[in-house]
């Protein structure tokens, strides 16, 4: 760009930004506030603390219900595991959970799903249940039933509500109900009609027990992405505090393109913070420190992206086993070299190749956030890290999209 006139350079930059609009007005406002007074290192330090708090935010989900309703299978499904996988909660036709048992997410250990003993059993009576299972440790409760909601569920819901926490009614095994209805009434069978009937019956029974305006989510542990799972997921996202919402979303199994898109958006919202940390290091005059920091940030973050999108080898093998396809067929949908190999050397090579785009973004950044104009090293480091993370995130999200379609052979 050194040989271009100012007007040619501006036209080139305008065209670049029209094609790659990826830093929002909200990002810019937050960035200006963070860098107020020009104290880059201090701003980076504060943002580092904020990111660490977000990364380490704990989320404890309690799953309860009567014996045999599929609690343990749901605990496994929400963690992306089959019932016979290593680390899965034991399942069976009789009550297998005798005490509250924590099951950390295999990829996001700060998210724990608790399998609670069945309610209404001699050892766990409804009136003392919450004290016995340690009510205070959980962020919210999933109350499950496989046939109909009973007085035990309503009593437990009222007690949870009185103690100031949220609960969600889940009617499990609806796939079995649909199959039974299809066999009994093949001529008049309607999936939506059966689901509406189940939902109405559940709500009526809860209302009869004094639960006002209940919402019931219909699920199948074997087809977790079907029926009301997306509605349950969106409700939880909306009602959880922001830091716990982030943890919940990233830990969700990749069951639909909608989940992948929301994961991508959640990670995009953190890009400017990661770039500011790089920028803060660049303000420290130690030769080579900024490059080392940029590469370290990129490698660590890209590793997290791969795991969150399910593009690591372990996740791909599990997906291939689940859909009954060779893992090589699943991997054939992956285009990004970052999904296949992730090392400091690979990232350094990609940093070199992306220099032109990163420079254009840095020019745009300096024109938008003037404080960078007097701190060239900081602006270059911020612009390069932000541009690279954004580009890599787009690549890996696209690969995750293609892998999901390849695995299920449908635009789910």
The burial of 48, by beta-carbon neighbours within 10 Å (0-12 exposed, 13-18 middle, 19 or more buried), is given as middle
For residue 126, what pLDDT is reported? Answer: 65
User: Does position 192 have pLDDT exceeding 50, yes or no?
Assistant: yes
Q: What's the whole-number mean pLDDT along residues 38-52?
A: 69
Compute the distance between CA of residue 143 and CA of residue 64 in angstroms, rounded to an integer: 5
Read off the pTM: 0.75
User: What strands lie across the sheet with 140-145, from one edge to the other?
Assistant: 101-104, 111-115, 59-65, 140-145, 166-171, 216-218
For residue 283, what pLDDT is reported? Answer: 47
Identify the residue with better confidence: 231 or 43.
231
The band of 18, judged by pLDDT with boundaries at 50, 70 and 90, is: very low
Q: Mind listing the domains of the chain with CATH numbers?
A: 6-34+262-408 (no CATH), 57-253 (3.40.50.300)
Compute the distance between CA of residue 218 and CA of residue 320 in angstroms, rounded to an integer: 27
Compute the distance between CA of residue 365 and CA of residue 197 in angstroms, rounded to an integer: 56
Lowest mean pLDDT of 14-28, 146-160, 208-222, 373-387, name the range. 14-28
Taking the CA atoms of residue 105, residue 109, residue 113 and residue 116 in that order, the dihedral angle to the nearest 10 degrees is 120
């Amino acid at each position: 760009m050194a040989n271009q006139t100012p007007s040619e350079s501006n036209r080139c930059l305008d065209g670049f930004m029209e094609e790659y609009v990826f830093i929002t007005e909200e990002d810019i406002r937050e960035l200006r506030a963070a860098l107020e007074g020009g104290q880059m290192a201090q701003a980076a330090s504060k943002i580092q603390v904020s990111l660490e708090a977000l990364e380490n935010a704990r989320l404890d989900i309690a799953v309860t219900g009567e014996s045999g309703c599929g609690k343990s299978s749901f605990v496994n499904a929400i963690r992306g595991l089959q019932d016979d996988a290593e680390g899965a909660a034991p399942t069976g036709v009789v009550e297998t959970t005798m005490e509250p048992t924590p099951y950390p997410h295999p990829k996001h250990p700060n998210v724990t799903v608790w399998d609670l003993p069945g309610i209404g059993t001699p050892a766990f009576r409804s009136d003392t249940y919450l004290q016995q299972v340690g009510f205070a440790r959980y962020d919210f409760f999933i109350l499950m039933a496989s046939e109909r909601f009973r007085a035990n569920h309503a009593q437990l819901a009222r007690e949870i509500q009185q103690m100031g926490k949220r609960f969600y009614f889940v009617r499990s095994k609806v796939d079995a109900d649909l199959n039974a209805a299809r066999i009994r009434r093949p001529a008049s069978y309607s999936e939506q009609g059966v689901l509406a009937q189940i939902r109405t019956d559940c709500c009526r029974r809860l209302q009869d027990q004094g639960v006002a305006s209940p919402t019931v989510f219909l699920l199948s542990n074997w087809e977790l992405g079907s029926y009301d799972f997306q509605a349950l997921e969106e409700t939880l996202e909306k009602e959880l505090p922001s830091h716990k919402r982030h943890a919940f979303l990233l830990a969700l199994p990749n069951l639909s393109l909608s989940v992948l898109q929301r994961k991508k958006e959640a990670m995009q919202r953190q890009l400017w913070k990661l770039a500011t940390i790089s920028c803060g290091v660049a303000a420290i005059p130690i030769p080579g420190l900024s490059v080392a920091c940029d590469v370290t940030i990129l490698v660590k973050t890209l590793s997290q992206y791969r795991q969150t999108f399910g593009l690591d080898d372990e996740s791909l093998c599990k997906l291939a086993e689940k859909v009954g396809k060779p893992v090589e067929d699943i991997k054939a949908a992956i285009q990004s070299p970052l999904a296949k190999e992730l090392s400091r050397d690979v990232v350094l090579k990609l940093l070199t190749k992306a220099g032109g785009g990163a420079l254009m973004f840095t020019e745009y950044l300096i024109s938008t956030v003037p404080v960078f104009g007097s701190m060239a090293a900081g602006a270059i480091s911020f612009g390069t890290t932000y541009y690279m993370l954004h580009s890599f995130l787009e690549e890996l999200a696209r690969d995750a999209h293609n892998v999901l379609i390849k695995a299920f052979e449908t635009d789910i």
